[in-house]
Amino acid sequence: MEKPNIKILLAEDDPNLGTILKAYLEAKGFPTTLCINGQEAYNMYLKEVFNFCILDVMMPVKDGFTVAREIRKVDKKIPILFLTAKTMQEDILEGLKIGADDYLTKPFSMEELLLRINAIHRRTSPEISGDSDKTFFRIGKYSFDYSRQILKIEDQEQKLTSKEAQLLKMLCDRINDVLDRSEALTKIWLDDNYFNARSMDVYIAKLRKYLKDDPTVELLNVHGKGFKLIAD
Amino acid sequence: MEKPNIKILLAEDDPNLGTILKAYLEAKGFPTTLCINGQEAYNMYLKEVFNFCILDVMMPVKDGFTVAREIRKVDKKIPILFLTAKTMQEDILEGLKIGADDYLTKPFSMEELLLRINAIHRRTSPEISGDSDKTFFRIGKYSFDYSRQILKIEDQEQKLTSKEAQLLKMLCDRINDVLDRSEALTKIWLDDNYFNARSMDVYIAKLRKYLKDDPTVELLNVHGKGFKLIAD
DNA sequence: ACCCTGATTTAAAAAAAGTTAAGCCATGTT
DNA sequence: AACATGGCTTAACTTTTTTTAAATCAGGGT
């Protein structure tokens, strides 16, 4: 039962601390992506799916607060933990206002960090579902706004129906990984039967049509398993 | 999700910890009143209505236990959580005797505090309605005064009928989330049948017309489920 | 190569949502 | 009492979204 599979987005400009943290977290079983500034972190956030953010407050190019605000716009739930230099109480206040789940003042012990991550994650996601609360995604040249149900490429907007949007979101949550047929059917169509499976096929075909304008994006079938959305 | 609307009375004499806690709790959606000593806390308790008390044990003028005893005299049910300096068993015992619901020893993580509040509140008040008693809303560039039944954008006022206002309020209570068709029908139209559903569609159309002056605001349909009001 | 099953595509039918306008009914006015 | 008004419902019709159907294609094994 103990299979957390929390993917961590870590933004830390000090390469020393950054690599140490990444190594530590991965040793503890959390796949971690390290970004060396806020801009890079935000781009990474849109492209892949994470379950936890650790953001240094002071970073070049884009500070941690700005990143957090941008992330909060499209994901109200993902846990955010700030790393802030000691003595900066105002920082803490600012961060909490944005909706941080916790903060740590440097220097801190790795163990403390681990404790916080586990505590937060225990509260925020009792069930391991594979689905995020993200609502905005990048798929190659496309951008996909799930809550507005809009798929855009170079100012060309395609309005999506709710079923189309649900399915595409589920594919995005597992980008470059297979989405199980029966999982999608149970979650979106509420029943895994022959007719719903045919219906799903129709929607896959529609999504392929919408996504054909960027050749690097592919929605491929994994025979007998499900579908995989491929993008840079 | 849940919408607890818990008003918290927080008594903490350390201004640093006090403001941070207040900011954190408010960011998590709990309106919090901070008092810097026990006497002030008790006065505040008598003046306003709270649903939760967090009391530091050691405070000048009047300590947390005394406040708790006074509060318990007039309210046997309000949840009380103590903050105690260190692991003083006697303190804890004393507090529990008074009728505390929980305690936390400093230093503690915000996360831990939030967990306790949620746990206690779940225990003490099980019902969740989804509807607030809020009466004023911001919808993108619009402002909506439910009690006056007025929808305004840039000094342009639109008077709403009561059905229009009821429906819009219900959508605002679940902004960026789906309002279930049948829920709205049962609550506003008192019966979920074909004709009322058609009637509701007419009102949705009217609301869309009223809301068209801010393109970032969208009232979209979620097929087979209901409607979702999108706005930042 | 052959077969079976799963996947794909297109078209049609069915269900849900949207639009417009007419009608109804309670209220207040002359 | 007759009339006007505004709010709401009903009705008929259109459009969109989803499901079903049917014909064809592809993958993996014997």
Angle between helices A194-210 and A162-173 (to 10 degrees): 80
H or E segment to which residue B47 belongs: helix B38-47
Q: Rounded to whole angstroms, how far apart are CA atoms B145 and B136?
A: 5
B202 CB and strand C closer than 7 A: yes
- Chain B residues in contact with A120 (beta carbon < 8 A): 111
Q: Which has the closest alpha carbon to B116: A123, A95, A93?
A: A123
Domains of chain B: 8-124 (3.40.50.2300), 136-230 (1.10.10.10)
The residues near A34 (Cβ < 8 Å, ≥ 6 apart) are A10, A11, A12, A18, A19, A21, A22
Instruction: Test A162 with B20 for CB contact under 8 angstroms.
Output: no
| Mean pLDDT value across chain B | 87
Q: Tell me the DSSP string of B197-217.
A: HHHHHHHHHHHHHHTTTSTT-
Distances from the Cα of A11 to the Cαs of A34, A106, A135, A204, in angstroms?
6, 14, 21, 35
Determine the distance between A194 (CA) and D23 (C1') in angstroms: 17
B24 touches chain A (CB under 8 A): yes
Determine the distance between B9 (CA) and D30 (C1') in angstroms: 75
Tell me what percent of the residues of chain B surpass a pLDDT of 90: 53
A197 CB and strand C closer than 7 A: yes
pLDDT digits 0-9 by tens, B16-75: 889 989 999 988 889 999 999 999 999 999 998 899 999 999 898 899 999 999 998 888
Strand extents, DSSP E, B142-217: 142-145, 150-153, 156-159, 178-180
CB of B149 closer than 8 Å to CB of B142: no
Determine the distance between B10 (CA) and D12 (C1') in angstroms: 61
With 0-12 CB in 10 A as exposed, 13-18 as middle and 19+ as buried, what is A118? Answer: middle
Interior CA angle at B215 toward B214 and B218, to 5°?
100
Q: Rounded to whole angstroms, how far apart are CA atoms A75 and B213?
A: 26
Q: Rounded to whole angstroms, how far apart are CA atoms A149 and A202?
A: 18
B7 touches chain A (CB under 8 A): no
- State pTM to two decimals: 0.82
Determine the distance between A148 (CA) and D16 (C1') in angstroms: 17
How many C-beta atoms surround the C-beta of residue B115 within 10 A?
17
Instruction: Test B230 with A100 for CB contact under 8 angstroms.
Output: no
Q: Which one-letter amino acid corresponds to residue B158? A: Q
Computed from CA positions of residues A51, A56, A59, A63, in that sequence, does the dihedral angle turn out positive or negative?
A: positive
B112 touches chain A (CB under 8 A): yes
Instruction: Test A96 with B20 for CB contact under 8 angstroms.
Output: yes
Q: Rounded to whole angstroms, how far apart are CA atoms B55 and B62?
A: 11
Determine the distance between A119 (CA) and D4 (C1') in angstroms: 67
Q: Rounded to whole angstroms, how far apart are CA atoms B52 and B68?
A: 12
- Chain A residues in contact with B176 (beta carbon < 8 A): 147
CB of B175 closer than 8 Å to CB of B231: yes
CA B9 to chain centre: 14
Residue B108 binned pLDDT confidence (cut-offs 50, 70, 90):
confident
A221 CB and strand C closer than 7 A: yes
Interior CA angle at B215 toward B213 and B220, to 5°?
105
A220 touches chain B (CB under 8 A): no
A178 touches chain B (CB under 8 A): no
CB of A201 closer than 8 Å to CB of A127: no
Q: Rounded to whole angstroms, how far apart are CA atoms A102 and B156?
A: 42
Strand extents, DSSP E, B27-180: 32-35, 52-56, 80-84, 102-105, 136-139, 142-145, 150-153, 156-159, 178-180
Query: Which nucleotides in chain D lie less than 7 Å from some protein C-beta?
Result: 6-12, 16-22, 27-28
Q: Which one-letter amino acid corresponds to residue B73? A: K
B215 touches chain A (CB under 8 A): no
A147 touches chain B (CB under 8 A): yes
The residues near B150 (Cβ < 8 Å, ≥ 6 apart) are B144, B157, B158, B159, B160
Interface of A with B in 55-94 (CB under 8 A): 73, 89, 92-93
pLDDT (0 to 100) of residue A106: 82
Cβ pairs A/B, distance under 8 A: 52
Q: What is the pLDDT along chain A (232 residues), one digit of tens a residue?
A: 444 589 999 999 999 999 999 999 999 999 999 999 999 999 999 999 999 999 999 999 999 999 999 999 999 889 999 998 866 667 777 787 788 888 888 888 888 899 888 878 776 666 667 788 899 999 999 999 999 999 999 989 999 999 999 999 999 999 999 999 999 999 999 999 999 999 999 999 999 999 999 999 999 999 999 999 999 8
Q: Is the pLDDT of residue B1 over 60?
A: no
